[in-house]
Amino acid sequence: MSSWREERRRDNAAEAEERRKTQAFQAQLRRDERRELGKEKRDEKAQRRRERAQRRQARAARREKNLTPGNVYRKGTLGLVTLSALASLPAQVLHFVAIHWMLFPIGPAVEGAAWVMAAGVAYADERKLPAWVRWLLRGLSLSAAGFAANINYQYGLSLTDHGVSAGNAQVAGLGLAAVTLGGPLFFEVRQWVLTLTASTTDPKKRAEEKARAKHEKQRRNTFKAVADRQKQLLLAAPFGTLTPEDAWTRAWWDIEGAPLGVTADVIADRLDAESDVSAVLAHAEQTPERIAVELLLADLFGPNGGGDGGGSGTAAGKPSGGPRGGTPKSRTALGGKGKGPDRSTTDTEPQKPLAEADLKAVRKLAEALGGTDRLSARNVREAVGCRNEYALRLRDAVRTEKKD
Protein backbone atom coordinates (compact mmCIF):
# COMPACT_ATOMS: atom_id res chain seq x y z
CA MET A 1 0.00 0.00 0.00
CA SER A 2 2.77 2.35 0.95
CA SER A 3 4.49 1.67 -2.34
CA TRP A 4 1.33 2.47 -4.23
CA ARG A 5 0.96 5.75 -2.39
CA GLU A 6 4.58 6.61 -3.06
CA GLU A 7 4.08 5.87 -6.72
CA ARG A 8 0.96 8.00 -6.71
CA ARG A 9 2.79 10.93 -5.14
CA ARG A 10 5.53 10.70 -7.76
CA ASP A 11 2.92 10.70 -10.52
CA ASN A 12 1.19 13.72 -9.04
CA ALA A 13 4.50 15.51 -8.68
CA ALA A 14 5.39 14.69 -12.29
CA GLU A 15 2.01 15.92 -13.47
CA ALA A 16 2.38 19.11 -11.47
CA GLU A 17 5.84 19.68 -12.92
CA GLU A 18 4.49 19.07 -16.39
CA ARG A 19 1.66 21.54 -15.79
CA ARG A 20 4.14 24.07 -14.47
CA LYS A 21 6.37 23.71 -17.52
CA THR A 22 3.37 23.94 -19.81
CA GLN A 23 2.13 27.10 -18.08
CA ALA A 24 5.63 28.61 -18.18
CA PHE A 25 5.91 27.78 -21.87
CA GLN A 26 2.51 29.30 -22.60
CA ALA A 27 3.41 32.40 -20.61
CA GLN A 28 6.64 32.72 -22.57
CA LEU A 29 4.69 32.38 -25.81
CA ARG A 30 2.29 35.12 -24.72
CA ARG A 31 5.23 37.37 -23.80
CA ASP A 32 6.87 36.69 -27.17
CA GLU A 33 3.62 37.45 -28.95
CA ARG A 34 3.23 40.69 -27.03
CA ARG A 35 6.81 41.69 -27.83
CA GLU A 36 6.32 40.80 -31.48
CA LEU A 37 3.06 42.73 -31.59
CA GLY A 38 4.69 45.72 -29.93
CA LYS A 39 7.58 45.59 -32.40
CA GLU A 40 5.16 45.48 -35.31
CA LYS A 41 3.28 48.47 -33.95
CA ARG A 42 6.53 50.39 -33.46
CA ASP A 43 7.63 49.50 -37.00
CA GLU A 44 4.25 50.66 -38.36
CA LYS A 45 4.52 53.96 -36.50
CA ALA A 46 8.09 54.45 -37.72
CA GLN A 47 6.98 53.66 -41.28
CA ARG A 48 4.12 56.16 -41.02
CA ARG A 49 6.56 58.78 -39.72
CA ARG A 50 8.93 58.11 -42.62
CA GLU A 51 6.09 58.33 -45.12
CA ARG A 52 4.90 61.63 -43.64
CA ALA A 53 8.45 62.98 -43.80
CA GLN A 54 8.76 61.87 -47.42
CA ARG A 55 5.46 63.52 -48.30
CA ARG A 56 6.57 66.75 -46.63
CA GLN A 57 9.85 66.64 -48.52
CA ALA A 58 8.02 65.98 -51.80
CA ARG A 59 5.66 68.91 -51.17
CA ALA A 60 8.61 71.14 -50.30
CA ALA A 61 10.43 70.07 -53.47
CA ARG A 62 7.33 70.77 -55.57
CA ARG A 63 6.89 74.18 -53.98
CA GLU A 64 10.53 75.00 -54.53
CA LYS A 65 10.29 73.86 -58.15
CA ASN A 66 7.06 75.74 -58.79
CA LEU A 67 8.30 78.92 -57.15
CA THR A 68 11.47 79.25 -59.20
CA PRO A 69 11.73 82.56 -61.07
CA GLY A 70 11.34 80.80 -64.40
CA ASN A 71 8.12 79.02 -63.43
CA VAL A 72 6.69 82.11 -61.77
CA TYR A 73 7.41 84.13 -64.91
CA ARG A 74 5.95 81.54 -67.29
CA LYS A 75 2.81 80.84 -65.28
CA GLY A 76 2.37 84.46 -64.24
CA THR A 77 2.55 85.60 -67.86
CA LEU A 78 -0.07 83.06 -68.88
CA GLY A 79 -2.33 84.23 -66.04
CA LEU A 80 -1.91 87.85 -67.09
CA VAL A 81 -2.64 86.96 -70.70
CA THR A 82 -5.79 85.09 -69.63
CA LEU A 83 -7.03 88.10 -67.66
CA SER A 84 -6.36 90.37 -70.64
CA ALA A 85 -8.43 88.12 -72.90
CA LEU A 86 -11.29 87.96 -70.39
CA ALA A 87 -11.28 91.76 -70.06
CA SER A 88 -11.17 92.59 -73.78
CA LEU A 89 -13.46 89.92 -75.27
CA PRO A 90 -16.80 90.96 -73.65
CA ALA A 91 -16.50 94.53 -74.93
CA GLN A 92 -16.01 93.31 -78.48
CA VAL A 93 -18.94 90.91 -78.25
CA LEU A 94 -21.23 93.68 -76.89
CA HIS A 95 -20.04 96.10 -79.56
CA PHE A 96 -20.91 93.82 -82.47
CA VAL A 97 -24.11 92.47 -80.88
CA ALA A 98 -25.29 96.06 -80.46
CA ILE A 99 -25.01 96.42 -84.23
CA HIS A 100 -26.78 93.12 -84.97
CA TRP A 101 -27.03 89.87 -83.08
CA MET A 102 -25.71 87.91 -86.06
CA LEU A 103 -22.34 89.69 -85.70
CA PHE A 104 -21.68 87.90 -82.41
CA PRO A 105 -18.85 85.64 -83.79
CA ILE A 106 -16.81 88.59 -85.07
CA GLY A 107 -15.54 89.57 -81.64
CA PRO A 108 -14.21 86.11 -80.65
CA ALA A 109 -12.83 85.64 -84.18
CA VAL A 110 -10.83 88.89 -84.09
CA GLU A 111 -9.55 88.24 -80.57
CA GLY A 112 -8.84 84.59 -81.39
CA ALA A 113 -6.91 85.56 -84.54
CA ALA A 114 -4.49 87.60 -82.45
CA TRP A 115 -3.91 84.70 -80.08
CA VAL A 116 -3.65 82.05 -82.77
CA MET A 117 -1.03 84.07 -84.65
CA ALA A 118 0.89 84.60 -81.37
CA ALA A 119 0.84 80.84 -80.78
CA GLY A 120 2.06 80.41 -84.38
CA VAL A 121 5.13 82.48 -83.53
CA ALA A 122 5.89 80.12 -80.64
CA TYR A 123 5.45 77.13 -82.93
CA ALA A 124 7.75 78.68 -85.55
CA ASP A 125 10.41 79.21 -82.87
CA GLU A 126 10.06 75.62 -81.72
CA ARG A 127 10.45 74.28 -85.25
CA LYS A 128 13.21 76.80 -86.09
CA LEU A 129 11.37 78.05 -89.16
CA PRO A 130 12.83 80.91 -91.22
CA ALA A 131 12.75 84.36 -89.65
CA TRP A 132 10.36 85.79 -92.24
CA VAL A 133 7.69 83.28 -91.15
CA ARG A 134 7.94 84.47 -87.56
CA TRP A 135 7.79 88.14 -88.48
CA LEU A 136 4.80 87.53 -90.75
CA LEU A 137 2.96 85.82 -87.91
CA ARG A 138 3.90 88.65 -85.55
CA GLY A 139 2.56 91.20 -88.00
CA LEU A 140 -0.74 89.35 -88.38
CA SER A 141 -1.09 88.97 -84.60
CA LEU A 142 -0.46 92.65 -83.91
CA SER A 143 -2.80 93.67 -86.74
CA ALA A 144 -5.66 91.65 -85.30
CA ALA A 145 -4.88 92.90 -81.79
CA GLY A 146 -4.75 96.50 -83.02
CA PHE A 147 -8.12 96.15 -84.76
CA ALA A 148 -9.64 94.67 -81.60
CA ALA A 149 -8.05 97.42 -79.47
CA ASN A 150 -9.61 100.12 -81.68
CA ILE A 151 -13.04 98.49 -81.34
CA ASN A 152 -12.70 98.32 -77.57
CA TYR A 153 -11.57 101.93 -77.41
CA GLN A 154 -14.62 103.02 -79.37
CA TYR A 155 -16.80 100.91 -77.13
CA GLY A 156 -15.31 102.59 -74.06
CA LEU A 157 -16.07 106.03 -75.46
CA SER A 158 -19.65 104.95 -76.18
CA LEU A 159 -20.28 104.39 -72.48
CA THR A 160 -21.22 108.07 -72.25
CA ASP A 161 -24.58 106.99 -73.68
CA HIS A 162 -25.12 104.91 -70.54
CA GLY A 163 -24.63 107.77 -68.10
CA VAL A 164 -20.82 107.50 -67.73
CA SER A 165 -18.91 110.76 -67.71
CA ALA A 166 -16.71 111.60 -70.68
CA GLY A 167 -13.52 111.35 -68.61
CA ASN A 168 -14.41 107.95 -67.21
CA ALA A 169 -15.49 106.73 -70.64
CA GLN A 170 -12.14 107.73 -72.11
CA VAL A 171 -10.28 105.96 -69.29
CA ALA A 172 -12.40 102.85 -69.88
CA GLY A 173 -11.65 102.98 -73.60
CA LEU A 174 -7.92 103.36 -73.02
CA GLY A 175 -7.96 100.52 -70.49
CA LEU A 176 -9.81 98.18 -72.86
CA ALA A 177 -7.44 99.04 -75.70
CA ALA A 178 -4.42 98.50 -73.44
CA VAL A 179 -5.47 95.05 -72.27
CA THR A 180 -6.41 94.06 -75.83
CA LEU A 181 -2.94 94.95 -77.12
CA GLY A 182 -1.13 93.97 -73.93
CA GLY A 183 -2.16 90.33 -73.98
CA PRO A 184 -0.50 89.42 -77.32
CA LEU A 185 2.45 91.70 -76.53
CA PHE A 186 3.04 90.03 -73.16
CA PHE A 187 2.80 86.63 -74.82
CA GLU A 188 5.31 87.68 -77.47
CA VAL A 189 7.76 88.97 -74.86
CA ARG A 190 7.35 85.70 -72.98
CA GLN A 191 8.23 83.79 -76.13
CA TRP A 192 11.32 85.93 -76.72
CA VAL A 193 12.52 85.30 -73.17
CA LEU A 194 11.96 81.54 -73.49
CA THR A 195 13.79 81.43 -76.83
CA LEU A 196 16.79 83.34 -75.46
CA THR A 197 16.81 81.13 -72.36
CA ALA A 198 16.84 77.98 -74.48
CA SER A 199 19.73 79.31 -76.58
CA THR A 200 21.83 80.04 -73.48
CA THR A 201 20.96 76.88 -71.53
CA ASP A 202 23.93 74.94 -72.91
CA PRO A 203 26.57 77.43 -74.12
CA LYS A 204 29.18 74.69 -74.61
CA LYS A 205 26.90 72.77 -76.96
CA ARG A 206 26.00 75.94 -78.84
CA ALA A 207 29.69 76.88 -79.19
CA GLU A 208 30.49 73.36 -80.41
CA GLU A 209 27.74 73.50 -83.02
CA LYS A 210 28.97 76.89 -84.20
CA ALA A 211 32.58 75.67 -84.43
CA ARG A 212 31.45 72.53 -86.27
CA ALA A 213 29.50 74.59 -88.83
CA LYS A 214 32.50 76.90 -89.35
CA HIS A 215 34.83 73.93 -89.82
CA GLU A 216 32.48 72.33 -92.34
CA LYS A 217 32.22 75.57 -94.31
CA GLN A 218 35.99 76.11 -94.39
CA ARG A 219 36.62 72.49 -95.39
CA ARG A 220 34.20 72.68 -98.29
CA ASN A 221 35.61 76.01 -99.50
CA THR A 222 39.20 74.74 -99.29
CA PHE A 223 38.68 71.32 -100.89
CA LYS A 224 35.89 71.97 -103.38
CA ALA A 225 36.67 68.94 -105.57
CA VAL A 226 36.58 66.61 -102.55
CA ALA A 227 33.33 68.21 -101.39
CA ASP A 228 31.73 67.65 -104.80
CA ARG A 229 32.86 64.01 -104.80
CA GLN A 230 31.49 63.56 -101.27
CA LYS A 231 28.12 64.86 -102.45
CA GLN A 232 28.17 62.38 -105.33
CA LEU A 233 28.91 59.49 -102.97
CA LEU A 234 26.13 60.45 -100.57
CA LEU A 235 23.62 60.74 -103.40
CA ALA A 236 24.73 57.48 -105.00
CA ALA A 237 24.56 55.44 -101.79
CA PRO A 238 21.21 54.34 -100.32
CA PHE A 239 19.87 56.83 -97.81
CA GLY A 240 21.44 56.44 -94.36
CA THR A 241 23.96 53.75 -95.36
CA LEU A 242 26.93 56.14 -95.70
CA THR A 243 27.85 58.75 -93.12
CA PRO A 244 29.17 62.16 -94.26
CA GLU A 245 32.58 61.55 -92.65
CA ASP A 246 33.01 58.15 -94.32
CA ALA A 247 31.97 59.71 -97.61
CA TRP A 248 34.54 62.49 -97.12
CA THR A 249 37.32 59.95 -96.46
CA ARG A 250 36.45 57.99 -99.60
CA ALA A 251 36.13 61.19 -101.64
CA TRP A 252 39.58 62.33 -100.48
CA TRP A 253 41.09 59.03 -101.61
CA ASP A 254 39.32 59.27 -104.97
CA ILE A 255 40.54 62.83 -105.61
CA GLU A 256 43.98 62.84 -103.97
CA GLY A 257 44.83 59.12 -104.21
CA ALA A 258 46.16 59.05 -100.65
CA PRO A 259 44.91 58.75 -97.05
CA LEU A 260 42.96 61.60 -95.49
CA GLY A 261 45.03 64.79 -95.21
CA VAL A 262 47.79 63.57 -97.57
CA THR A 263 48.34 64.91 -101.09
CA ALA A 264 50.89 64.33 -103.85
CA ASP A 265 52.72 67.52 -102.86
CA VAL A 266 52.90 66.38 -99.24
CA ILE A 267 54.37 63.01 -100.27
CA ALA A 268 56.93 64.72 -102.57
CA ASP A 269 57.97 67.14 -99.83
CA ARG A 270 58.30 64.29 -97.35
CA LEU A 271 60.49 62.25 -99.69
CA ASP A 272 62.68 65.27 -100.38
CA ALA A 273 63.09 65.94 -96.67
CA GLU A 274 63.91 62.30 -95.92
CA SER A 275 66.47 62.31 -98.72
CA ASP A 276 68.09 65.46 -97.35
CA VAL A 277 68.24 64.01 -93.84
CA SER A 278 69.64 60.70 -95.11
CA ALA A 279 72.32 62.53 -97.07
CA VAL A 280 73.39 64.60 -94.07
CA LEU A 281 73.44 61.63 -91.72
CA ALA A 282 75.32 59.46 -94.20
CA HIS A 283 77.95 62.18 -94.60
CA ALA A 284 78.39 63.15 -90.97
CA GLU A 285 77.07 60.07 -89.10
CA GLN A 286 76.07 62.42 -86.33
CA THR A 287 73.17 61.65 -83.98
CA PRO A 288 72.17 63.09 -80.62
CA GLU A 289 73.40 59.87 -79.00
CA ARG A 290 76.77 60.19 -80.72
CA ILE A 291 77.21 63.76 -79.54
CA ALA A 292 76.35 62.73 -75.96
CA VAL A 293 78.91 59.90 -76.05
CA GLU A 294 81.57 62.22 -77.46
CA LEU A 295 81.02 64.69 -74.65
CA LEU A 296 81.25 61.87 -72.10
CA LEU A 297 84.46 60.56 -73.59
CA ALA A 298 85.92 64.04 -73.69
CA ASP A 299 85.29 64.31 -69.95
CA LEU A 300 86.76 60.85 -69.30
CA PHE A 301 89.89 60.93 -71.46
CA GLY A 302 90.47 64.62 -72.03
CA PRO A 303 90.62 66.45 -75.36
CA ASN A 304 93.99 64.85 -76.29
CA GLY A 305 93.25 61.26 -75.16
CA GLY A 306 93.41 58.24 -77.46
CA GLY A 307 95.52 58.08 -80.57
CA ASP A 308 95.46 58.28 -84.27
CA GLY A 309 94.69 55.09 -86.06
CA GLY A 310 96.09 56.43 -89.30
CA GLY A 311 94.45 54.78 -92.21
CA SER A 312 91.93 53.09 -89.93
CA GLY A 313 90.02 56.33 -89.69
CA THR A 314 90.38 56.84 -85.93
CA ALA A 315 90.05 60.20 -84.25
CA ALA A 316 89.99 59.86 -80.47
CA GLY A 317 90.57 63.57 -79.85
CA LYS A 318 88.09 66.34 -80.57
CA PRO A 319 88.98 68.06 -83.82
CA SER A 320 88.94 71.81 -83.93
CA GLY A 321 86.88 71.89 -87.07
CA GLY A 322 83.72 70.10 -85.85
CA PRO A 323 82.29 67.40 -83.58
CA ARG A 324 84.46 64.63 -82.22
CA GLY A 325 85.21 62.01 -84.80
CA GLY A 326 85.01 64.36 -87.78
CA THR A 327 84.65 62.76 -91.16
CA PRO A 328 86.71 59.54 -91.41
CA LYS A 329 89.25 59.38 -94.21
CA SER A 330 87.57 56.24 -95.50
CA ARG A 331 84.38 58.18 -96.31
CA THR A 332 83.87 59.40 -99.85
CA ALA A 333 81.54 61.84 -101.47
CA LEU A 334 77.87 61.03 -101.60
CA GLY A 335 76.67 59.21 -104.66
CA GLY A 336 73.64 61.46 -104.97
CA LYS A 337 70.74 63.01 -103.06
CA GLY A 338 69.31 60.55 -100.58
CA LYS A 339 72.05 57.94 -101.18
CA GLY A 340 74.71 56.70 -98.80
CA PRO A 341 78.47 57.00 -99.32
CA ASP A 342 80.04 55.11 -102.16
CA ARG A 343 81.70 52.05 -100.54
CA SER A 344 82.83 50.43 -103.77
CA THR A 345 86.48 51.35 -103.09
CA THR A 346 86.71 51.07 -99.32
CA ASP A 347 84.99 47.70 -99.12
CA THR A 348 87.68 46.11 -101.30
CA GLU A 349 90.59 47.51 -99.28
CA PRO A 350 92.60 44.97 -97.19
CA GLN A 351 92.16 45.04 -93.43
CA LYS A 352 94.63 47.32 -91.68
CA PRO A 353 96.22 46.48 -88.38
CA LEU A 354 94.64 47.70 -85.17
CA ALA A 355 96.28 50.81 -83.81
CA GLU A 356 97.58 50.57 -80.26
CA ALA A 357 96.10 53.97 -79.45
CA ASP A 358 92.67 52.73 -80.53
CA LEU A 359 93.04 49.59 -78.42
CA LYS A 360 94.04 51.73 -75.45
CA ALA A 361 90.97 53.94 -75.93
CA VAL A 362 88.70 50.90 -76.07
CA ARG A 363 90.28 49.45 -72.91
CA LYS A 364 89.57 52.72 -71.09
CA LEU A 365 86.03 52.66 -72.41
CA ALA A 366 85.55 49.12 -71.09
CA GLU A 367 86.80 50.22 -67.66
CA ALA A 368 84.46 53.19 -67.68
CA LEU A 369 81.49 51.02 -68.66
CA GLY A 370 82.30 48.33 -66.07
CA GLY A 371 83.57 45.45 -68.20
CA THR A 372 84.24 44.29 -71.73
CA ASP A 373 80.85 42.60 -71.89
CA ARG A 374 79.33 46.08 -72.06
CA LEU A 375 81.30 46.96 -75.17
CA SER A 376 79.34 47.16 -78.40
CA ALA A 377 80.22 48.07 -81.93
CA ARG A 378 78.28 51.27 -81.58
CA ASN A 379 79.92 52.65 -78.42
CA VAL A 380 83.36 51.60 -79.71
CA ARG A 381 82.64 53.35 -83.00
CA GLU A 382 81.53 56.44 -81.15
CA ALA A 383 84.58 56.40 -78.88
CA VAL A 384 87.18 55.88 -81.57
CA GLY A 385 85.48 57.51 -84.54
CA CYS A 386 85.85 54.72 -87.06
CA ARG A 387 83.85 52.51 -89.35
CA ASN A 388 81.68 49.70 -88.04
CA GLU A 389 83.98 46.92 -89.33
CA TYR A 390 87.01 48.43 -87.59
CA ALA A 391 84.99 48.93 -84.37
CA LEU A 392 83.99 45.26 -84.36
CA ARG A 393 87.62 44.18 -84.66
CA LEU A 394 88.63 46.51 -81.81
CA ARG A 395 85.85 45.20 -79.56
CA ASP A 396 86.70 41.55 -80.26
CA ALA A 397 90.38 42.19 -79.67
CA VAL A 398 89.82 43.80 -76.25
CA ARG A 399 87.44 41.01 -75.25
CA THR A 400 90.01 38.41 -76.27
CA GLU A 401 92.71 40.15 -74.18
CA LYS A 402 90.39 40.10 -71.16
CA LYS A 403 89.76 36.37 -71.52
CA ASP A 404 93.47 35.61 -71.87
Rounded Cα distance, 361 and 124, in Å: 87
Is residue 333 helix, strand or coil? coil
State pLDDT tens for residues 29-40: 888 888 888 888
Cβ atoms of 298 and 318 within 8 Å: the answer is yes
State pLDDT tens for residues 330-343: 333 333 333 344 44
pLDDT value, residue 229? 92
Is residue 130 helix, strand or coil? coil
Rounded Cα distance, 174 and 333, in Å: 103
Q: Residue 163 CA to chain centroid, in angstroms? A: 72
Cβ atoms of 190 and 74 within 8 Å: the answer is yes
Q: Residue 321 CA to chain centroid, in angstroms? A: 55
Q: Global pTM?
A: 0.39
Say which DSSP state 341 is in: B
State pLDDT tens for residues 213-231: 899 999 999 999 999 999 9
pLDDT value, residue 251? 92
pLDDT value, residue 312? 41
pLDDT value, residue 301? 64
What does the domain layout of the chain look like in residue ranges?
69-201, 205-256, 271-403
Q: Which long-range contacts (CB under 8 A, 24 or more apart) does 249-257 make?
A: 251/226, 251/227, 252/223, 252/226, 254/229, 255/223, 255/225, 255/226, 255/229, 256/226
State pLDDT tens for residues 149-176: 888 888 888 888 777 788 888 888 888 8
- Mean of the per-residue pLDDT values of the chain: 76
Q: Residue 112 CA to chain centroid, in angstroms? A: 46
Rounded Cα distance, 153 and 83, in Å: 18
pLDDT value, residue 232? 92
Rounded Cα distance, 301 and 361, in Å: 8
Rounded Cα distance, 96 and 11, in Å: 112
Is a pLDDT exceeding 90 seen at residue 386? no
